[in-house]
Amino acid sequence: MSSTPSVKRLVMFKHGVAYIERGGPASGPFELSFKKGEMNDVLKSLAVWVARGDAKVGAVAFEKPEDPEAELERRKLNLPPWGTMLALLGVVKGRRVKVVSGGAAREGEVMGVEAESVGDRGERRRLVLREDDARVALVDFATIEAFELADPSSRADLAFFVDRSRAASAGENRTVGVDVRGAAEDLRVSYVVPAPAWRVSYRIAKSADRAMVMGWGIVHNPVDEDLHDLDLVLTTGQPVSFVIDLYNPKNVSRAVVEEESRAAAPPTRFERARRAAPAPGSPAVSRGLAADMARVAPMMAMAEEADDSEGGVGAMAESLGGGATYEDRGELFEYRVGAKIALKRGGSAMVPLFAENVDAKKERIWRLGSVPSPDLVLTFKNTTGAVLEEGPAVIYDDDVYAGEAMLPYSARGSEVKLAFAKDLAVRCKAQPGSARVVTAVRLGRQHLVEECRRESFYDLEAESDYDEDVVVIFEVPKVHGYDLVPGSFAPTEETSSFRRFSLTVPPRGRVKQRVETSTLESSRSQYASVSLASLHGWAKSNLLDPAAATGLAEILKLWADANACELESERIDSTRDDAYQKQSKISEQLQVLKESGPEGQLRLRYVKELEAEQDRVNAAEKRMAELAARAEAAKSAADEKLAALVGRR
């Protein structure tokens, strides 16, 4: 069996897998060892090919997923580690064996083991062999020199026992055998295994209007062996990857597919401002970029542009080893680590990726709803030539630690804003307000339409303790449908969610500014619900012409008269109900009173009261009829006037 080809290339991805490529000479079959949890990815991705040589690749064999000890137990081959010979003889009982004892060979069928006490010397064991139909031999265990299984089935059981015992002692490891026939100068094996995502850590050192951006990649050894002279590639992007169970036998309907995703919980982030689309062929839109962007010079060359003061930014970059080169790979972006690296088994490493100077500036940005102190923000355009993966960044300002930030995923040419500290010498606040201004009133067929402008504003205020002018950028959230009022304070830039306004605060002073936005809206009202006061106000403000206002006022008066008649009718109806109730009570009394004597006199009095109540009922009904006629006439007149007024408009 030839030696296993060593790992030559390792490609780490951001979504939980690593691509491994092995290479080297091979002149026969060899084995690879994997963890049980890696087998599904290995079976999904394993590829073997001959790069140089005449060898041929045969089958790739792998162990069954069943528990090896359970398999041994099922076949009654789970032999104990002590007393293995006795246990093995029990397994091959009745089968033919050849025994070499005292230099002589004896052959027969195993019948069992005879044990007898020999006093102080302990116990004597002898193998009982049936040599032929009429002869049984006893062979002393102490004299047995060799033991050979003559029966093919016994030999198969012994081979199975050794194989499964080796698998059981391997724990979580699983063996994959590659059959190679012939000799290959260079045999390649590649596969994908689960792996921790590589991450990136940044150091950004600002000096004046420049900043040195340095990137370090953090990787973990995904294989269970030491790696030497390794080509390491770190890849951005996110190819589709999933876990599918190919190792365990199962029905297709029970296949397991799970999507992998990555997420982060960063601190305060600032959106990129909108900008015009770059011209065709510019670095921001060219996939391959120019040749000088496809391969970046080592970090020593990068550092020549840096500050060369002792202990400064330049020294920090010059202390790094050879940097990575990087280039586009279609939808992916690769960092190829410049020097060969070594990764110990179970070990990790932090490798230098790049160091580039960029134009940078420091800003103060305050977002509505946050604490009074604005964020100190480092702003720069990603002109490093590399795609910047998401990762933490430590900020240095003039060689002094200034704070930390979370750098978002940033394509080449995109703007980066990193909030790394709070400026306690500046305090900001915003006072919100709103107003509703009617702009027009229209008479519709069924409703009165009121058009208005809904105004929303913020009074921004900043106060500074500095002895010089300070610029503070306020981030005001956008509200859907609301636009800036023409001629009002204009923003310096906009994002998809915010408008940014710059205010210059005088030395040890304070500044205020109002930001105004508005939206147009309309509302409908029933004509009957309009008040005379509103009519007078609209007419006075020239929102409704006087003729329409006068006509609508007359209509409202007619409706008011109709309502008054209906209210009066309801009051009279209540009086009539009272009269009905009294009549009912009097009628009940009359039914029990006699017509003569004292009861007759009382009866006459009740009759007069009954007549008086009837007069009240008659008067109420007459008045109610008059009121109903007046109300109906008022409504009819109002409807006619409204129809004429609306038609005229």
- Looking at residues 84-93, what average pLDDT do you find? 73
Q: Which amino acid is at 163?
A: D
Secondary element (H or E) of residue 249 = none
The H or E element spanning position 277 is none
How many angstroms separate the CA atoms of 74 and 87, rounded? Answer: 15
Above 50 in pLDDT, residue 603? yes
Mean local confidence (pLDDT), 53-63: 88
Residue 287 has pLDDT above 50, yes or no: no
Q: 62 φ, ψ to 5°?
A: -145, 155
Sign of CA dihedral 245, 246, 251, 253: positive
Q: Mean of the pLDDT values across residues 120-135?
A: 80
Nearest Cα to 214, choosing from 342, 291, 321, 295?
321
Report how far residue 491's alpha carbon sits from residue 471's, in angstroms, rounded to the nearest whole number. 14
Q: Which residues contact 602 (CB under 8 A, 6 or more apart)?
A: 593
How many residues belong to the chain?
A: 649
Residue 20 CA to residue 2 CA, distance in Å, equals 20
pLDDT of residue 35: 86
pLDDT at residue 303, as a whole number: 38
Whether 298 shows a pLDDT value over 50: the answer reads no
pLDDT of the residue at 145: 80
The predicted structure's pLDDT at residue 292: 31
Average pLDDT of the segment spanning 595-611:
78
Looking at the domain 96-150, which fold is it? SH3 type barrels. (2.30.30)
For residues 444-463, give the mean pLDDT.
91
Q: Measure Cα distances from 594 to 517, 587, 610 in Å.
A: 88, 13, 17
pLDDT at 209 exceeding the cut of 80: yes
| Domain spans of the chain, in order of start | 1-92+151-195, 96-150, 199-226+267-340+347-422, 427-529, 537-648
Q: Which DSSP string corresponds to 117-150?
A: E-GGG-EEEEEEEEEETTEEEEEEGGGEEEEEE-
226-283 per-position pLDDT tens digit: 999 999 999 876 777 777 777 665 544 544 545 444 443 345 566 666 654 444 343 3
Model pLDDT, residue 408: 92
Please write the tens of the pLDDT for every residue from 352-382. Answer: 999 999 999 999 999 998 999 999 999 999 9
Q: Are strands 6-12 and 227-235 parallel, antiparallel or unpaired?
A: parallel
Residue 305 has a pLDDT of 43
Sorted by sequence, the CB contacts under 8 Å of residue 247 that are 6+ apart come out as: 36, 39, 40, 43, 65
Question: What is the pLDDT confidence band of residue 286, given thresholds at 50, 70 and 90?
Answer: very low
Q: Would you say residue 396 has pLDDT above 90?
A: yes
CA distance 428 to 473: 10
Say if residues 142 and 120 touch (Cβ distance below 8 Å).
no
174 with 35: CB under 8 angstroms? yes
Quickly count: other Cβ atoms within 10 Å of residue 499's Cβ: 19
- CA 158/CA 586 separation, integer angstroms: 121
Going by C-alpha positions, the residue among 317, 272, 285, 294 that lies closest to residue 409 is 272
Spatial contact of 50 and 23, defined as CB atoms under 8 Å apart: no
419-434 pLDDT, tens digit each: 999 999 999 999 999 9
| pLDDT value at 473 more than 90 | yes
pLDDT at 296 over 60: no
The pLDDT value recorded for residue 497 is 93
Whether the predicted pLDDT of 498 surpasses 60:
yes
Which of residues 249 and 520 earns the better pLDDT score? 520
Give the pLDDT confidence of 609-633 residue by residue, as tens digits.
Answer: 888 888 888 888 898 999 999 999 9
Distances (CA, A) of 379 to 366, 389, 419: 14, 17, 9
Q: Which segments of 202-334 does DSSP mark as H helices, in order?
A: 291-294, 299-302, 313-318
pLDDT digits (tens, 9 = 90+) for 19-38: 999 999 998 899 898 888 88
Q: What is the pLDDT of residues 139-184, one digit of tens each?
A: 877 788 877 877 787 777 777 666 666 655 555 778 899 999 999 9
**Which residue, among 478, 473, 562, 553, has the nearest Cα to 513 in the 3D structure?**
473
Instruction: Tell whether the model's pLDDT for residue 7 goes beyond 90.
Output: yes
Q: Assess contact for 617 and 576: CB atoms under 8 A.
A: yes
Compute the 3-state secondary structure of the chain and give helix, strand, coil in percent, each to the nearest 5. 30, 40, 30
